[in-house]
Amino acid sequence: MRQNSDGSVVLLKGKIPIAILTESDIVSILGEQIDLEAKAYDFATTSVITANENRPIEFAFNFLSEHNIRRVVLVNNENQFTGIVRQEDLFDYLEEDVYKVDLKISHIIKPHQEIITITEDASLYEALSLIQSHQIGSLIIMGKKTFTGILTEKDILKLTYLEVNMYEKIKNHMSKPVISVDKERLVTDVIELMKKEKIRRILVTDAEKKLVTILTNRDILKHIKGNYSRILQIKIKHAQEIMDFLPEAIIEIFVSDDQQIIHWMNKKAKELFGENLIDKELTTVFSSQNWQEIYTHFQTSSTIVNKRVHINKQNFEISGTLSKNLNNRYIKLIFKDVTEHVATKKKLQLEIDKQIEKRLENEYLLMQQSKLATMGEMIGHIAHQWRQPLAQLGGIFMNLDAAYEFNELSPEYLKKKMKSGNELIKYMSYTIDDFRHFFEPNRTKKSFELAQYIQSAINIIQASLTYYRIDLKVITPTKPIYIIGYPSEFAQVILNLLDNAKDILLERKIQNPTIIIETAIVGDVVTVSVKDNGRGIDEKMIDKLFDIYFTTKTKTGGSGLGLYMSKLIIESKDMGKIKVHNGTNGAIFTIQMQQT
């Protein structure tokens, strides 16, 4: 316990956690004068409570609050020990708006709370007995007129380890000076102070410096629990309001064991399918056969991409995800209207059969189809790009709400917050423009700087890579490199290669996943390599990798167009050559081009 400074030790059987020994257990053992050479497992009174390490932060927050515990033991999918999350660790991840910028200590402390104290001339053994009998984690040490120090379970653990005589006076071993704050201090300030001083409790005083209570991080988290749920609800509402502006129809479905009910629809969905469908079965929108195919797909996969359905004489491509919120399951579906696309495709196919000379136009149509095949992933990229500004918008609205509630909403404050909100909305609008411009094709060749359009592809996928904790490294010469070609299509090829690398790293659950983009010049030949550490490609498949409709991702809805179109763009449009081979740790895709 002294080495890890955690206040606990997890006991393992092999790699499986079976019990946890805390400072409180040690205090009880000392109070009962039990031999410290006894087996630790026999005195581990705290049952071990575990959670999977891949759970989201909000799950850990609710888990600790509901079980009224200070720490939760993390395990992997094989139930093997991987670490511990403590209450104080969560403060590094919770957004400031969760505990409100203007919230004071006096708003959350209990009035007339009993405080256990002891005089500084008492013995350590008396303090130990008092801590044990009252089942508390610390004692306030009182001098003649005021408090002079504090003694915690951790202090007793340290003194025992150092073999200090327990009948010595407390004043010789107590922690001092004791850290205290006024009850009118802001909670945000106290949290920062606790993190800075690496403490989990602090004394609260009134205006006359008289002791009011001891505030712990557990007290703060208990208060946050109710406020946190409210914050999440507000953020969900804001997210739904923003989705009302999207041109695609979006439907959210609540999934239970025996029903799948429409939970929410954006404006476009209501325009297409009807206004009064909330709490209705999905068969009010789909045919029973179409919905059964989609729902069956979600039994084995959490995503669906570009499922073609026919609804009310219109054709749609449906992409979506299955998500879990604690004990609830939700399916979100995005409907892209491709009615005109389907009709156009039929007409063009007849023309293709008759006119071989229009081969380039046919390839362009395949490119458009490839772009449509990635729209589901693009929505995911947009979601990651918007995650932080949405959270910040939620914080602005919470600040305005709090200011209004406490009569502090001045015109200047409102104007400042409105300005901040408008800047965030402007940023989100620019993000949409970036995605829209990314798919605009170039019909004529031109000279372009390589690094600029590599970065353009990175900008699209960076948020997704960050979300999945994939490390992206870019190695490029300091001197600008220019080539002749189609810059937007080139950027799309880089994006395809990055997306493929990301998918294989996630599918194979690679530890410390990494992607490297390296640009090099040998003579007048420029090479751009995209490498990953995903353990490579099966040699039996590597020669077919660029074939049309060939995919290794059939279970996750791969179309087999991405790499085919990448080869078509690079080679058929005379920009260079694209190849693939296995390196030491994974696949290496290499594009070779001529420098201008």
Nearest one of 101, 103, 87 to 183, comparing CA atoms: 103
Q: Is the model more confident about 237 or about 467?
A: 467
Question: Which pLDDT does position 449 carry in this prediction?
Answer: 93
Give the list of residues 6+ apart from residue 7 with CB closer than 8 angstroms, or none.
1, 22, 23, 70, 71, 153, 154
Q: For residue range 355-391, list pLDDT tens digits in order.
A: 655 565 555 555 556 555 555 566 666 776 677 678 7
- The pairing of strands 201-205 and 180-182 is parallel
Whether domain 97-224 has CATH 3.10.580.10: yes
Nearest one of 187, 186, 215 to 201, comparing CA atoms: 215
Q: Which helix (H) or strand (E) covers residue 260, if one does?
A: strand 260-265
Predicted confidence band of residue 588 (pLDDT cuts 50, 70, 90): very high
| Side chain identity, residue 449 | E
Give the list of residues 6+ apart from residue 16 with CB closer than 8 angstroms, or none.
79, 80, 81
Place of tokens 């194979």: 508
Q: For residue range 36-77, list pLDDT tens digits in order.
A: 777 878 777 666 778 888 776 666 666 666 666 778 888 888
Which whole number is the average pLDDT over 324-339?
78
Can you name the residues that pair with 520 across neighbouring β-strands?
527
Judge contact between 323 and 329, C-beta under 8 A.
yes
Would the CATH topology of 8-87 be identical to that of 97-224?
A: yes
Q: Which CATH number fits domain 8-87: 3.40.50.150, 3.40.50.10800, 3.40.50.720, 3.10.580.10?
A: 3.10.580.10
Name the burial class of residue 314, with classes exposed (0-12), middle (13-18) and buried (19+) by CB atoms within 10 angstroms of its CB.
Answer: middle
* Tokens, residue 122: 């008492």
Q: Which helix (H) or strand (E) covers residue 291, if one does?
A: helix 288-297
Give the list of residues 6+ apart from residue 488 with CB closer than 8 angstroms, or none.
438, 439, 440, 441, 442, 453
Q: How many CA atoms lie within 13 A of 561 on its CB side?
A: 16
Residue 85 — φ and ψ, nearest 5°?
-115, 125
Predicted confidence band of residue 531 (pLDDT cuts 50, 70, 90): very high
Averaged pLDDT score across all residues of the chain: 80
Residue 593 CA to residue 89 CA, distance in Å, equals 50
Could you give the C-alpha distances from 75 to 10, 12, 55, 88, in angstroms and in order? 12, 12, 10, 19
Query: What number does CATH give the domain 441-594?
Result: 3.30.565.10
Judge contact between 587 and 532, C-beta under 8 A.
yes
pLDDT of residue 120 exceeding 80, the answer is yes
* Tokens, residue 319: 């992409």
Residue 75 CA to residue 60 CA, distance in Å, equals 13
Q: Is the model more confident about 129 or about 55?
A: 129
Question: Which pLDDT does position 498 carry in this prediction?
Answer: 92
Could you give the C-alpha distances from 409 to 106, 189, 381, 590, in angstroms and in order? 21, 21, 36, 58
Name the burial class of residue 153, with classes exposed (0-12), middle (13-18) and buried (19+) by CB atoms within 10 angstroms of its CB.
Answer: buried
Which whole number is the average pLDDT over 195-202?
81
Residue 22 CA to residue 168 CA, distance in Å, equals 24
DSSP H helices in 406-483: 411-438, 450-467
CB atoms within 10 A of CB 523: 7
- Sign of torsion, CA 317 322 325 329? positive
Predicted confidence band of residue 237 (pLDDT cuts 50, 70, 90): low
Q: What is the residue extent of each domain of the chain?
A: 8-87, 97-224, 441-594
* Tokens, residue 216: 């712990």
Q: For residue range 548-582, list pLDDT tens digits in order.
A: 656 665 455 455 567 877 888 888 888 899 999 99
